[in-house]
Each structure stands twice: as structure tokens, then as C-alpha cells.
Structure 1
Amino acid sequence: MHELGIAGAVLRAVERRAAGRRVRRARVRAGALLHISGPALNQAFIAVSDGTVADGAHLDVVIEPARIACRSCGRTATSDRMLAVCPGCGGTRMDLQGGDGLVLEAVQFAEAERRVGHEPST
């Protein structure tokens, strides 16, 4: 399960952005060519974040398809796998334009807990 290694990398990025603040949720955009399972990555993130600032946080995973462009006919297509042959002309000169990245898009922090009975006086 390669999601465990990816979850560790995501956790390190989340911890850097959190700078000690508690994390409630985070969102990553993963390219389809990484062949990541969103639910498996979230479960791996839960496992690796135990005892950290992200303990109990949920990881939202957005899968981004690969964009592929044919050098022969100029057609572009999106796919969840690398195409070897253009679906338009059958050409084999294809350029990959994404679908293999991993980006931490957002981190939501837990709100500071208010202590009951210690409200500021007005």
C-alpha cells in the first residue's frame, strides 16, 4: 500500500503549515497517474497522524485526471491512465500534461477552545 508513504509526506507538509496549531481537516489534489485510492489515503493519514497536531483530522482527496495531448493531430483528452495511442488519430506521439502531481491545497485548523466561565468582561 503506497498510500502509507504518501500519507507520511502529506502529514509532514500539514505539520509545517500548521506550525503547532491543531488540524481538523486537510485537502490534497492527487494526479490519477499516482493510482491513489482516496479512502485508503485517508485511512493511512489517520494512522500516521496519531499523536500529532493532525490527530483525528480528516483528509479530503481530490483525484485530478491526466491531460494528454497528441503531437500529430493536436487533440487533447483527459484520462485516469496514460494513453499510448491517441483516441482521435491513432498517433503514438503523446505528451503528458499533468495527472502525476500531489499538492496540499488546504488545511483547516481547529478553533481555539473557549473556557467556560472565563469570558472576557465588558
Structure 2
Amino acid sequence: MHELSICRSITDIVNRHAGDKPVQTVRIRIGELRQIVPETLTYCWGLVTEGSALESSTLEIERVPLAIRCSSCDARTTLSSPILVCPECDGTTVEIVAGEEFLITSLELAEV
């Protein structure tokens, strides 16, 4: 379960950036191509933050769908499955333009 180690890394980053201010919400963006299960990540967040300054914080996850751009016809398409073929022209020379993201987008800090 690599989500546990991911949560530990997220808490390290959040603690460095939040300083002494209490954190209410941590927002992250995860692309569909990442091998991360959002429900498992949320569960692990509870485990990793238990008994820490982040215990009352919540993890908000935004999923980013897989999108490609076809080099042949220049169509940009959001895909529902990771089959990298242009649905417009059946071209296989495509560029992934979304779906590989993994980043912390913002922290919501409590007023002190």
C-alpha cells in the first residue's frame, strides 16, 4: 500500500509550509494515470495524521481525467480508459496532456 508512504510525504510537505499554523484542509490533484486509489489515500491520511497537529485536517482530492492530443488530427479528447488511441481518427501518435498530475494545490489554514 504505497498510499501510506505518499501520505507521510504529504504530511512532511504540509508541516514545512504551514509552520505553526493549524491546517484545516489539504487539497491535492491526482491524475487518473497515477496508481493511487483516492479512498485508500483518504484512509491512510487518517492513520498518518492521528495524534499529530494534522489530526483534525481533511484531505480533499481532485481527480484529473486522462486527456490526449492527437498528433495527426490535433483533436484533444478526454478518455474514459487508458487506451491511447484518438477516437476521432484512430491515430496512435498521441500526447498525454492531462492525467499524470500529482500535486498539493493548496492548504487551508485556520485563523490563530
The normalised TM-score by structure 1 is 0.80
Matched, 1:61 2:39: no
Contact 1:33 1:80 in 2 (8 A): no
Task: Count the aligned residue pairs.
Answer: 112
Work out the CA distance in 2 between the residues paired with 1:42 and 1:90. 37
| Greater RCO, CA 8 A, separation 6+ | 2
TM-score (norm 2): 0.86
Distance 1:92 1:38, change over 3 A: same
**Contact between 1:21 and 1:53, CA under 8 Å: does it hold in 2?**
no
4+ aligned runs moved over 4 Å, structure 1: none
Quote the offset at 1:106 in angstroms: 1.6
Q: Gaps (5+ residues) in structure 2?
A: none
Secondary structure at 2:99 match in 1: coil
Does 2:51 correspond to 1:51? yes
Instruction: Give the RMSD, CA atoms, in angstroms.
Output: 1.7
Give 1:17's aligned amino acid.
H
The separation in 2 between residues aligned to 1:70 and 1:8, in whole angstroms, is 37
Which has the larger Rg?
1
Query: Gaps (5+ residues) in structure 1?
Result: 113-122
